[in-house]
Structure formats: structure tokens, C-alpha cells
Amino acid sequence: MSGWLADNRERVFADLTRFLSIASISTDPQFKPKIADAQRFLLAHLEASRFENRRLIEGDGHAAVYADWLHAPGKPTLLVYGHYDVQPPDPLEAWTSPPFTPTVRDGRLYARGASDDKCPLFVALTAASALLAADGALPVNLKLLIEGEEEVGSKNLESYVRANRALLAADFVLSADGARWRADLPAVNVASRGIATLEFALTTAAKDLHSGRYGGAVANPLNAIARLVASLHEPSGRIAVEGFYDGVAEPTNAERAAIADLPFDEAAYIAAVGASGPVGEAGYSTLERQWLRPSLDLNGLWGGYQGTGSKTVIPHEARAKLSSRLVPGQDPARIVALLQRHLETHCPPGAKVEMKAGHGSPAYALPPDHPALAVAEAVLAEVHGRRPVRVRIGATLPISDMFKRVLGIDTIMFSYSTADEDFHAPNEFFRLSSFDDGFAAWQSFLRRAGALAPQDFRAFRR
Amino acid sequence: MSGWLADNRERVFADLTRFLSIASISTDPQFKPKIADAQRFLLAHLEASRFENRRLIEGDGHAAVYADWLHAPGKPTLLVYGHYDVQPPDPLEAWTSPPFTPTVRDGRLYARGASDDKCPLFVALTAASALLAADGALPVNLKLLIEGEEEVGSKNLESYVRANRALLAADFVLSADGARWRADLPAVNVASRGIATLEFALTTAAKDLHSGRYGGAVANPLNAIARLVASLHEPSGRIAVEGFYDGVAEPTNAERAAIADLPFDEAAYIAAVGASGPVGEAGYSTLERQWLRPSLDLNGLWGGYQGTGSKTVIPHEARAKLSSRLVPGQDPARIVALLQRHLETHCPPGAKVEMKAGHGSPAYALPPDHPALAVAEAVLAEVHGRRPVRVRIGATLPISDMFKRVLGIDTIMFSYSTADEDFHAPNEFFRLSSFDDGFAAWQSFLRRAGALAPQDFRAFRR
């Protein structure tokens, strides 16, 4: 079947180049016409690929593109997820070639959206259309959901999915979005941390005060917020918020052994970001801290004078934004409530605290015996000649949790982008070799999934 | 002699109005011509007032205006200090009448610089020129030093004074700058706190990191700076920096009793600034904390994302500015060194601290038996019908320390502005009643000082 790609490569890459040339930036309303261009491009491309039932799923935001091919009775139904929107390309002057002029250099295809998510999506679409072209049929039922708001937090996706439950019903989600852990190691991602965010302000007076006239006699909100923030962690790095670890399971020996067995060069990892060393909760390794343990980080902290020189002011307020990464067993709303109680009870004398909860999403874990996970592992072993490792991700993938809640199904991350491809940064690229690997892997995945039956997934539906 | 002011009031206020109309803003180079206008106005006014030896003291910054009258052999020599420069008037739209169009409303003269320091300076000049006009002589020798850089930290004043030691030699400084504690209570200020400033930055990595991918495994500079700042104080409010209180004398019972005897409505004082209550070092009253105890305040603290919504970033650096108010016995350079040692030794793991010392000035205390202090107290008792209380100021008056170091003489603060006259803010004003009180007080001061001799001050020179 690599013969098919060899025979059709020119046409496939011409199409991909057209797709990458569309500045489908979702964060900026002035690019709305380009969003529409991308939708039209996909609808036409899916028609040419013989997908059926093509349509836009419309609502408050940018429409999602839907299409399907459902002529494999008795076979599983896969919902393929991807997105056609991209990040803004700023700063433009940092790009070697223009962001919407796709350019190949040294085996890499440079363009905004190349890695996130247009090439990985095109890998999936090309693999399916090649099967349809060659065999006249697919080994499974396939539904495609390609959204246009991933880069703005998929803010309308849940309502689109809720409104189209029957249309989108499937046995599992196969995601063409999300990055592989590393280019040098086949891996399948089986879990991601959740998130809970909160911002708060401390107020100590009605106006800024002179530090000479008032210093030492009234509360200083900067000193107070420092004390309050410091109270969130024990010196050991453990989070000091009462009840925070309720429901959090200690890593099992097997989990710890599996992580310890992974090839991971901690020194190189730390050096790559210019840090002086790993820092975190005592008793855990770096990967355990990132994958298995919750965290609590300030993302912003500010108050008072930030200009040149000194200004002898006691400001009257200080502000902070914080976010907590969650693990299974932690409910985002409960974590926010615990944080709020902590901030209230630990608020230093003379300061008033006001808080505003942000967004939340729980951790997600793929059941270790999910049949699609076994398929993914077999495929990766076949394509890369090496059994993949199971890895987790410290970041949050809210769509996995959303699909589980709304459609009751699990998500397998099967993107062929890698974490080093500068997505969200200038000179984003996609490795051309990943296109061929991904094409082979997606075809293999669809074939192997065709050997399963819908009832194989019944136990995993919720 | 109030007859003289009544007879000449129209001319005096016409002159004062011209002086207040000059936008002698020292912080903005575009107002340099107005600075020159103010210098010319003063030189002409001093000539008309029969002061001699008029000149500009020039150097790197705006020139200071000098003049003298030295025909009282055997009498003390007073160096009168004031300044002709003003703060910028922004925000302009907040002014009821334009800042450089002096306007009288309800017994108050509104203009930028009215309270700080043009009216108080004019009180001093008018009192002296009235005596010269009426008597043809002054009861003391008088030197005037009117600088043009007070609002930019008197940054060249020390070099001007050093270069003109003989010209400026005197028995003590009588300052027309500085504010009275309260309008309702005659008081004389006998001490001010010093200051030491420092800014520092914590760095944890070479770039900002994703809080999902790295959270919990690398140091967060915001959490780290909070912990570092929190380490500066004990929960009791005492400063936790080793050696910080070395040389600081405990307040004596007499000092504490004198402060406790002052009419001071702590609840009203706290309510006026919208604070919820007094907060400070355990074991001390609010006035003791402000006047007798050193303080350590953050003036600015920042890092990470400050915009709307959340951004899941672990920033790579955090910054803070701090200042410490000092009491007698504390050397600013040593305090900065102690703070630096504390910040280094308490810097959390994974963070590097970089520090930059700012400016420093020691505390100042007028000798309680200084003859000019006795004069000031007698004058205030005479003018206000009530013996003044001795008060301190929590803020820093660097010129008092500078005159002591360079000229070896003490400074008596004798301004007739009050702390509530919105200097450095829109709608700055000066009470017209203060002009008459101040005129009477300055004339009385000069007469009473004429009863002393230079040798009375010998023991206080350094």
C-alpha cells in the first residue's frame, strides 16, 4: 500500500500544500473568511475522497466539519478527531519562510499548522481515502469530526457534540491531534492530568500609601500575598492545602517500575530548558512528578511598582493566578473549593481575599485493557519495529474527558506530530518521514480495528 | 508686624501668584525653560527684597538659587532651605482649576506646587523681607539655598553643597520644606527614618515553560519568590533578617510615654486609608511602629501572566523591589548587605537570585537639646497658643542627613504646609490661614534666634 502513496504523492502534497496555505487562524475574528476557506477545502477534499454525509456542524463558534463512511456492518465505528484551525503566526519576522507558504527544507515541511494539526489530520484522511480508493471500502465504519476552535480552547465543541450525539455515536475516538512524546521512541499516551484554575486578589487599603509614612503600621499586600502563596506548599514540595490529596492513589510499584524503565535522560531534559535541576515533591522522580502527581503553580503574580528605579509605595492590592494539574481521583470543582478555603483561612491579617474560579477539567486515563490501545500498540510495533512504551502526559487534554462524559467513549491519541516541532511558535514544521510512518500506521490501525466487533467495546462505554 | 502683611498683602500675593504660574517641573526635560523662568523670578524677587550676593549654584542638574544677608555680626547664621521645582500635574483632567492658574476657593490656594514648596518658601522669604523692609536689617545672618531638583531626589544637591562649603557655612538649617504632622496640632518634627532599597530577580530556567508538561517537576519562580519574601518576616511581624536589629535601641519608657500621650485617633487614622486595622510588629503601637521601629516593605512584585483569563505558563523569572525604613543605629549599606545575604541563603532550590542595591540614607534625629529646637517650640507656643508636641516622621528626609554630613549642622523642619494638602496629587492646595500663621512664626523665629550666639551651636556641630 506504500505503493499507493508513492503513486499519488504529488497530488496528496499538492492538496496538503493548499490546505496549509489557508490562514485559518481561529483566535482573530478578521481571519473568519479563511476559516470558511478551510471548511470549503475540507468539504471538497472529503467529497473527492468519497466520504459521505458531509456537512458543517454549526453553532455559536466556527463550524466543525463532519463526514462519514458507514458501510461496514458488524464492524466497529471510529470517530476520528482533528482540527483545521491554527495559532496566529506572530512574530512574523522570526519565520525563515512565510508561515502560509509551505516550504520543504531538510526533510521538514515548514508552515503554521504543519504540526498542529493539518499534517497529522491529513495523514489520517489520506490513509482512509487510499483504502477507499484501492478497496472501494473501509474495514471499519468511520466518522470524521474536524473542529475549528481547538486553538481557542474548543469552547463550543462540547455543545456541538451534545447536539449531535446520535450523529457522532461511535465505539471510540481516534485522535489525529496531540503530539508524540519523542521522535526517537514509539510511545502511546494512556493518561493526561486535569486542571483547575483560580485567580485571586488581596486588598489591604482603599489606596496606595507612602511606605515611609505607613511602613510597618499597615498590612502590605505584596508581603501578605507572598506569605499566603508560600503557605500553599510544605518545604518538602508537598501541597499543603487540606484535603488536596484525598482520593489520590499512591503510585503502585508496577507503575513506578514501568516509569523507571523508560529511557529518560533527566540531566539532558533539565539542561534543555536551562534549569539548574529538577525541583518537586520529595520522594518522586521527575517523570512521576509530571505524570502521576498533582501540581500547583502560580502562573502570574503582581502588584505595586514595576518600572525603573524605586518607588516607595505600599500598594493597596496584589494579584495572582494559579493553576493546579490534577490526577485521577481529584474533582476540579472540589479542588477549587479547597484552594478557596485555604486562601481564606490563611489570608494574613489586614488583607481581604477575593477569588474567581477559572476553568476545570479532570484527569483522564485510558483503561489499560481497552481494545483500541492494544491495536495502537500492535500497529506501532509493526511500523517502528519496536514495541511502544506507555507514557502519560502532564498536560491536560480536555477533549478526552469531554468525549467520555458526552458520548461515553474513550480516546486514543494517535497523532504523528512530535512535541519538538515548534507548534505555537515560529518555524513550525512537520517531519516528512512522519507522513509516511503515519500513513502506514493509520492504514494498519483501520485494518486491525476491522478485526474487532462493536461488542468488544461495550464494557468500556459509560 | 501683621500690619506689614496687611498693608502689603496684595503685592505679596501677586508675586506669589506669578511664582505659582511657572510650570517649573523638574522631572520632565521639556520644562527646562520653565525651570529657568523660576530661577529668574527668584533672583529678581530676592533683589527686590534686598538680599545680596544673589547667584546660581550650577552643576550637572538644574541650578540652585543662592542669596544672603550677612550683616548681623555676633549673631547666628541660618541656612534657609526650600525648593522651586514642582511635580508634574498629571492627571490634568482631575484638576478643578488648571494647575498653573493659581485659584483661591474656600480659603485655599489651589496650584501645583502650592503646598510643595512654593507657598511655604514664600512664607519664609516674605517674613525675612518684611523685617528688612521695616527694620532695614535682620536679627540674624541669613543664607538662602533654593534648589530645583527636590522632586527628582535632590540628586545633585550634595555635590552643590560640597562644592560650596564655605559659601553655605551656617549654624543650622531652617527648612521651609517638609509638612507639618497635622493642621489641628502644633508639632515640631525631631526625627525621621532612613531608607535602604534593593531590587532582586529570581531565575529558574532559560525560558517560560508549559505548566502541564513541566508543572511539579521544575522550580516555579513565582512560588519561589513568594517563599523567599515570606522568609523576611516572622509571623509576629518582626523582621527575620539576621543582624537586622543590631544597634537598634529599644524605645525608652519616656519615649513610649511621650508617644502614648499624643492625641492620636488610631481608628480614624486607619479608616482614612480604608484599611481594616493596624498591622505590624507585635508589642508596639501604631505610632511606635511608624516612628521608632524599622520596617521592610515590598514596593513591587511581579512575574508571569498578568492579562485576562488564564495562561498555563511557568514563567522563568520573578522580580521584586523592596525598601526598608531605618532607625538610628542602622547603616543603610550594612542593611543592604544583610538583606542580600538573607536573600542568597534563603533562595529556594532551583532558583538563582540576582540583586541590585538602590539608594540609601540613614535615619536622622535632631538632638533633643538643640537650641534651635527650643526656639521653634517657643515660637509655635506663641503663634498657636499651645506648646507644640515633639513628633517624628516615618518617612525619610535625606537632606537632613546630607547637611549633617557635609556641613556638620542640624536641620529644623519649619514648613507651614500640612500633610493633607494633596501635594504630588491633583488639586494641590495651601491653606491661606497658614500663610499668616507661617509669616508670624518665621518672623518670631528670626527674632528669637537673634537672641542666641554662634557659640551656642558649637557643641552640636560635627
B219 touches chain A (CB under 8 A): yes
E runs forming strands in B293-410: 295-304, 313-314, 317-326, 352-361, 364-365, 389-393
Tracing cell 501677586 back to the chain, one arrives at B14
CB burial of residue A261 (10 Å; 0-12, 13-18, 19+): exposed
Q: Choose which CATH entry (3.30.70.360, 3.30.70.3290, 3.30.930.10, 3.30.70.20) describes domain A194-248+294-361.
A: 3.30.70.360
CA B101 to CA B111: how far, in whole Å?
7
Chain B hits for A320, CB-CB cut-off 8 Å, are 222
Q: Give the pLDDT band of residue A317 (cuts 50, 70, 90).
A: very high
Cβ of B229 within 8 Å of Cβ of A222? The answer is yes
Please indicate whether, in this complex, the C-beta atoms of A193 and B213 are within 8 angstroms of each other: no
**Chain A nearest CA to B111, separation (Å):** 22
Cell of B307: 492579562
Pairing of strands A317-326, A194-203: antiparallel
Residue A417 in contact with residue A180, Cβ under 8 Å? yes
pLDDT value at residue B184: 84
B213 at the A interface (CB within 8 A)? yes
Least confident of A210-219, B60-69, B224-233, B400-409: A210-219
CB B392 within 8 A of CB A213: no
Show the cell assigned to B401.
542627613
Residues 6+ apart with CB under 8 A from A379: A441, A444, A445, A448
A278 touches chain B (CB under 8 A): yes
Taking each helix axis as running N to C, give the angle between helix A32-48 and helix A119-135, from 0 to 180 degrees, rounded to the nearest 10.
Answer: 20
DSSP 8-class letter at B349: T
The one-character DSSP state at A460 is G
> Averaged over A6-32, what is the pLDDT?
96
Q: Is B30 on the interface with A (CB under 8 A)?
A: no
- A220, B315: Cβ pair inside 8 Å? no
Res B2: pLDDT: 60
Residue B215 Ramachandran class (φ > 0 left, ψ -120 to 50 alpha, else beta):
beta
pLDDT-wise least confident of B65-79, B300-314, B441-455: B300-314
- Closest to A194 measured CA to CA, from A370, A340, A323: A323
- Tell me which residue in A213, A270, A279 faces B395 most closely, judged by beta carbons: A213
Nearest CA in chain B to A319: B306
- For A103, the grid coordinates are 516550504
CATH number of B2-192+363-460: 3.40.630.10
Of B442, B457, B434, B453, the closest CA to residue B382 belongs to B442
Residues of A in contact with B305 (CB under 8 A): 299-300, 321
A167 vs chain B: nearest CA distance in angstroms? 33
pLDDT digits (tens, 9 = 90+) for B326-379: 999 999 999 999 999 999 999 999 999 999 998 899 999 999 999 999 999 999
Cα–Cα dist A115/B322, whole Å: 45
* β A141-147/A77-83 pair status: parallel
Mutate to test the interface with A, among B151, B299, B312, B359 (most CBs of A within 10 A): B299
Task: Judge whether A314 and B275 are in contact, CB under 8 Å.
Answer: no
Cα B217-B218-B223 angle, rounded to 5 deg: 110
What per-residue confidence (pLDDT) applies to A311? 83
Q: What is the pLDDT confidence band of residue A2, given thresholds at 50, 70 and 90? A: low
Give me the pLDDT at residue A180, please.
85
Strand-pair partners of A364: A192
Transcribe B151-195 into DSSP letters. GGTTTTHHHHHHHTHHHH--SEEEES-SEESBTTB-EEEEEE-EE
Nearest to A216 among B213, B220, B325 (CB): B325
Question: Rounded to 5, what percent of chain B is helix, strand, coil?
Answer: 40, 25, 40
Cβ of residue A219 closer than 8 Å to a chain B Cβ = yes
Look over chain B and give the mean of its residue pLDDT values, rounded to a whole number.
95
User: Looking at the predicted structure, is the pLDDT value of residue A23 above 80?
Assistant: yes
Closest residue of A to B351, CA-based? Answer: A276
Name the residue type at position B263: P
Chain A segment 98-157 residues within 8 A of B by beta carbon are none
B114 to chain A nearest CA, in Å?
A: 20
* Cross-chain residue pair B394–A216, CB shorter than 8 Å: yes
Cell numbers at B433, concatenated: 490661614
- Closest B-chain CA to A199: B310
Per-residue model confidence as pLDDT tens digits over B120-162: 999 999 999 999 999 999 999 999 999 999 988 899 999 999 9
pLDDT at A179: 81
Largest CA distance in chain B: 84
pLDDT tens-digit map of A46-99 = 999 999 999 999 999 999 999 999 999 999 999 999 999 999 898 889 999 999
Minimum distance, in Å, between the CA of residue A41 and any CA atom of chain B: 32
Instruction: Tell me which residue in A273, A352, A359 faces B209 most closely, judged by beta carbons.
Output: A273
Fold agreement between B2-192+363-460 and B194-248+294-361: no
- How far is it, in rounded angstroms, from Cα A359 to Cα B173? 62
Pairs of CB atoms within 8 A across A/B: 293
Cα of A279 to nearest chain B Cα, Å: 5
Closest residue of chain A to B181, computed from CA coordinates? A213
What residue of A is the nearest CA neighbor of B346? A235
Q: Which residues of B85-115 are buried (b: 16+ CB within 10 A; e: fewer)?
A: bbbbbeeeeebeeebbebbeeeebbbbbbbb
Residues 344-373 of A with CB under 8 A from B: 349-352, 358-359
Tell me if B320 and A197 make a contact (CB, 8 A cut-off).
no
Q: How far apart are the CA of B363 and the nearest CA of chain A, in angstroms?
A: 11
Q: Is A193 on the interface with B (CB under 8 A)?
A: yes
Where in chain A are the domains?
A: 2-192+363-460, 194-248+294-361
Contact B215 A274 (CB under 8 A): no
A175 pLDDT higher than 80: yes
A299 contact residues in B (CB cutoff 8 A): 211, 222, 304-305, 310-315
User: What residues in A contact B215, CB-CB < 8 Å?
Assistant: 290, 295, 297, 323, 325, 394
Q: Which positions 301-340 of A are in contact with B (Cβ < 8 Å)?
A: 301-306, 309-316, 318-321, 323, 325
Residue among A204, A217, A310 minimizing CB distance to B286: A217
Residue with cell 506572530: A90
pLDDT top residue among A88 and B23: B23
Locate the chain B residue with the closest alpha carbon to A276: B350
Q: With a cut of 50, say whether residue B303 has pLDDT above it.
A: yes
CA distance A255 to A191: 12
Please judge whether A394 and B209 are an interchain contact, meaning their C-beta atoms are less than 8 angstroms apart: no
**B370 vs chain A: nearest CA distance in angstroms?**
25
> Which chain A residues have a beta carbon less than 8 Å from that of B301?
222, 225-226, 301-304, 318
Which chain B residue has its CA at the smallest distance from A396's CA? B212
Q: Select from B230, B276, B305 the Cβ nearest to the Cβ of A226.
A: B230
pLDDT for B183 equals 82
Question: Of chain A residues 393-422, which have a CB less than 8 A from chain B?
Answer: 393-396, 419
Indicate the SS3 state at residue B282: coil
Among candidate residues B17, B52, B2, the one with its CA nearest the CA of residue B430: B17
Q: Tell me which of A180, A248, A279 to substitute to probe the interface with B (most B C-beta atoms closer than 10 Å).
A: A279
Select from A212, A301, A419 the Cβ nearest to the Cβ of B193: A212
Mean pLDDT of B410-431: 92
B interface test, pick of A180, A211, A343 with most B CB neighbours within 10 Å? A211
pLDDT of residue A462: 82
Does the pLDDT at position A1 exceed 70? no
Residue in A with minimal Cα distance to B238: A216
| pLDDT at residue B1, as a whole number | 47
> What is the rounded average pLDDT of the residues B414-438?
92
Q: CA nearest B292 in A: which residue?
A: A216
Q: How close is the nearest chain B Cα to the Cα of A87, in Å?
A: 15
Establish if A290 touches chain B: CB-CB under 8 angstroms: yes
Least CA distance to B397: which residue of chain A? A212
